[in-house]
Each structure stands twice: as structure tokens, then as C-alpha cells.
Structure 1
């Protein structure tokens, strides 16, 4: 069993097509067939059902699928560990949601890269996919809105900050406060998901408008729409801070019976790995540089 066979198996399981698999791996279909047959012989079981127009995993194939990804990930990690020796103190793969990289988490990553002693890679995905990646071992730690419930994970409230209503300063220079009615009357309110509590608040606060509002999942895009098209938007303080400081945006007091809830981001990782050198080193760095974050205590 070698890495080529495993990667061929994983690609075929994902594409369900010998043609697509051969295109992705840049080999002829007969090579794909040979690799799969060799793997099935070694494992002593049939991994795929083959039809004239379909390929699908067998029950044995599904069982092996849960292990193959971890094996490939560990092999790649071993290669990287050997390559990195003498070139950096350690390497770390950090997962995060698309919406949060522009928050204070960016400053943490910036400081980590600034040392010049750590090889850093970031991965962007949804919370559930990031948790799966942690289990597979393809990432070391992740920043998520919804922490895993499993006792196998450590969950740390990493970031808890206010969410501000902001608009372009030139447009709202004389405006100090906006009510719910005034915001709705404006007709240009962006929606960006800042966590479960915020999502529920936004829907409750703005009702039907929550369905029709322009939705974005990238802070940079939201900020450009706010500055270029005079949209209003609710932003975490750390995301808007520099734009407010530079006179581009203005923080506007939002007048309502219920204020937007704070944004809480969790740092999570597998407990079984916290003593590994690279993860332990990263966690020590986080603890040392968490002065901008509050309420950072282990939940589990």
C-alpha cells in the first residue's frame, strides 16, 4: 500500500468516475484500475462497485474511506516534518471561517508569520468541515463559531467582541444614532454571519428584510460595498477599527430594544494532540499574544 494507491482511492471515491480521476491525477485509466485492484488485493476486499456508467463505494470501501484520508494526511505530515527540520522551529496548519480572518485573528496570524521562525498555512472552510479536518489530522487547530460538543476536543473562547453598526463617514458624518426603522428605510443593509446568536438576532430584529438583504461571507467584500455603495453593516469592532481610525467608516449607535450580541470565536483542537511539539508551540504563542482578547479560558 503506497501513497499513490491511497490518493487514487480517495480521488475515485470523491469523483465516482474513472475518467475524472485519470484527468485529475494525470494518468491513463488503466493505471487507475491497476492501482485500485492492487489495493483491493492487499486489503482482501472489494472497495468499489463498477457499472457501465457508475462507480460507487462498497460497504468495505466506506469503512476504508474513514482511514485512508488519515493515512495520507499523516504521510504528508511526516514528509513536511522531515523537510522543515532546520528550516523553521515548527509548522502549523490553522483552519478558520471565511468571515473571521479580518478580525483580531488576523493580527495573531500576522505576529506568527512575523517571527520568521514558523511555517504557517491557513485553510478556510465551514465549521463542520473544519471539525472533520481536525479529526483527519489535516489541520492542527481551528477558529470556529460553533465548537464541537465531543469531549475529544478542547474548546477555548478565543475572541469576544462588540458588533458595531458602521457606514461611510462621508455619508453619515452628522448622524450619531439610527433606529431600526431608519436602518430599514435606508434599504441598504448588509448581512454577514457573525455566529449563531447574531444570526438569530438579525432575523428577529429585521424580519422579512433578513431574507432579502444582500448577504456576503467575506469581510473585505462587505467593507467595499459599505464604502463604495453607501451600505450599512454590522461589523465586529476589530474588523472596522482601522477603517474608522482612517476616517473611512463611522461607528453609528444603533437604537433598539435589543443590541446585537457580541461575536464569540472559539479556538478548538484535539486533546490527544495538545502535547505534540507544533501544536503545543502554537498554543503557547496564542497564550502569550492574546492580550487583545477577553475571557480566554478553557471550557473543556
Structure 2
């Protein structure tokens, strides 16, 4: 079915190699080529440029990636919803910005699993504007954002306030504030980004840009440097002297909000799950 064609397309677009994609999908290389050809025939466009030594996505192929991911997500949502139709379970579809997952949502999902038996979870990552659109169109049930949408039909509730502190792998590195050498810029939303630009306007550009605090933390511990990271993620490494707080650096904070439709049929179960947040600064 077409779902398999889309899965194959996404794997080829990720690897840009028919053989590697076939190994990852556990099918033959000829099957991968045939699926891509079928999809191209259905759409009436070429998805990959095969004229060069290395495979490249065409502009049409690049545009398909977003739609293919959305279609696969909707198909998974549909399969799960149909599968639990005869049970007492409730399906809850959760969308979030990438950087929020590691900060608060991983532990929250575990609490839902342990405390609410009749719930089936689907999670996905979206850009902020896609979260608002998906929420209003009922593709997702709860959206987690740094800046909640001000829409009459939506309820937005603050679930956490997260302190962000500048840490470095170099002990007593007083030059960090001035130079920010090997600095990793983590995306915490425009509010923190704009504050950072004002206060570090004389510093050199960031060495790396990363959307997830967890990826930045792992990279920092391995390669060295400095970054703004959530306090609760760095505590154990500071205790072990693997990371050091830059005391003179400003401390930022980010409020995280959960938004959902006021007239959602799942409002009761949404409220129940949100009560599992501690509602404190973490």
C-alpha cells in the first residue's frame, strides 16, 4: 500500500543511497527502486536526481518529506485509534517542540504510564507554528510550547518553569563570558534567544547550533565547550566536576505551557494527565 512507498521514500531521502536504504528496511535494493518509481509515477514527478554520482533530492522530493511524515503520523494515529476502539482505553496524541521533550516530557510520560492504566499514547515533534495548526485541526490533543498561542478556543496552562544556566567543561574559565569559545547555541525559543543576543552581542558567533538540550549536553561532555542547559540536566555532572557553572553569566528561565482545545472530547483525561506535573520550578 502507499504507506510502504512513503516509508521507503523517507528512508532513501535520509540515507541518499538505495542500497543502504534496502538494508535498513530489510528488503532488496530492486524493491526499493521499484517503490520509488511507483511513487514517482503516482505523483508525476521525479523525487531523486539520479544523473550525478551521488543521489540527490529534487525540489519536489524535498517538498514531499514534510507531507510524507505527516501522512505516516496520521496513519499511525488512525491504526492505534481503531485498535483500541473496543477497549476502555483513551488515545492521547501529544505534540511538542523538540527542545521541550528532554526537559520535562520524558518523565511526565513515564508518570502517565504508571498512574493511568486506560490510556494509549502517541507522540510527535513539531515546529511551533505546526503545533498550533495541528492542535486547532485536532491532529494532536495537547501541544507543549514555550510561547502559548493566544486563541480563544484554546486553554493554555503553565506546567513548568525551567532555569537555564551557562555551564562549561573548563574549571574556573573566566574567559567564557567574554569569548564563548566552542559555544553551543541551544534553541529555547525566541524569548531566550533575543535575551542572549543582547547580553552576548560582543561574543563571537556560536560554534554549533542544536535543537535538543540532551544532544548538546552529550556533545559538550565529549568534545568540550560551553552551553546554556536546564539546571536539572546538569546537576549530576556539576557534582562530579565534569561541568562547571559560569557564575558571572546571567541565568535565564523558560516557562513551558500545555495547550489544548477548550471543547476537546478528551478534556477530562487531558486535565488528569496534566495534574501529574509537579507545577514547580525544576
TM-score of the aligned structures, taking structure 1 as reference length: 0.63
Change (3 A) 1:90 1:24: farther
Change (3 A) 1:267 1:204: same
2:277 aligned to which of 262, 275, 290: 290
TM-superposed CA distance for 1:26, in Å, is 5.1
Tell me which residue corresponds to 2:15: none
Tell me which residue corresponds to 1:112: 112
Tell me which residue corresponds to 2:189: 195
Tell me which residue corresponds to 1:16: none
Instruction: Return the alpha-carbon distance in structure 2 between the equivalents of residues 162 and 237 of structure 1.
Output: 6
Change (3 A) 1:26 1:112: farther
TM-superposed CA distance for 1:101, in Å, is 0.9
Change (3 A) 1:24 1:210: farther
Matched, 1:260 2:258: no
Instruction: Return the alpha-carbon distance in structure 2 between the equivalents of residues 248 and 117 of structure 1.
Output: 43
Instruction: Return the alpha-carbon distance in structure 2 between the equivalents of residues 88 and 239 of structure 1.
Output: 36
Change (3 A) 1:98 1:76: closer
Instruction: Return the alpha-carbon distance in structure 1 between the equivalents of residues 241 and 86 of structure 2.
Output: 45
Change (3 A) 1:272 1:192: same
TM-superposed CA distance for 1:232, in Å, is 0.8
Instruction: Return the alpha-carbon distance in structure 2 between the equivalents of residues 230 and 86 of structure 1.
Output: 53
- Structure 1 segment 209-288 matched on structure 2, within 5 A: 209=203, 211-244=205-238, 247=240, 249-256=242-249, 259-273=250-264, 276-277=265-266, 279-287=267-275
- Report if aligned partners of 2:168, 2:246 keep a CA contact under 8 Å in 1: no
Name the SS for the 1:160 alignment partner: strand
TM-superposed CA distance for 1:197, in Å, is 2.3
TM-superposed CA distance for 1:146, in Å, is 1.6
Instruction: Return the alpha-carbon distance in structure 2 between the equivalents of residues 133 and 210 of structure 1.
Output: 37
Change (3 A) 1:210 1:292: farther
Q: Which has the larger radius of gyration?
A: 1
Change (3 A) 1:27 1:253: closer
Structure 1 gap ranges (5+) = 5-22, 34-68, 296-300
Instruction: Return the alpha-carbon distance in structure 2 between the equivalents of residues 113 and 265 of structure 1.
Output: 21
Change (3 A) 1:251 1:120: farther
Structure 2 gap ranges (5+) = 3-34, 45-69
- Structure 1 segment 115-154 matched on structure 2, within 5 A: 115=115, 117-154=118-155
Which whole-Å deviations, capped at 9, do the CAs of 1:71-98 have from their partners, x for residues lacking one?
xx6x986764442145563111101111
Once the two structures are overlaid, the 10-residue window that deviates more, 181-190 or 144-153, is: 181-190
Name the SS for the 1:119 alignment partner: strand
TM-superposed CA distance for 1:99, in Å, is 0.9
Aligned residue-pair number: 225
TM-superposed CA distance for 1:130, in Å, is 0.6
Instruction: Return the alpha-carbon distance in structure 2 between the equivalents of residues 195 and 237 of structure 1.
Output: 17
Which whole-Å deviations, capped at 9, do the CAs of 1:147-190 have from their partners, x for residues lacking one?
1111111111111121122233xx42xx3xx65x5333351211
- Report if aligned partners of 2:184, 2:206 keep a CA contact under 8 Å in 1: no
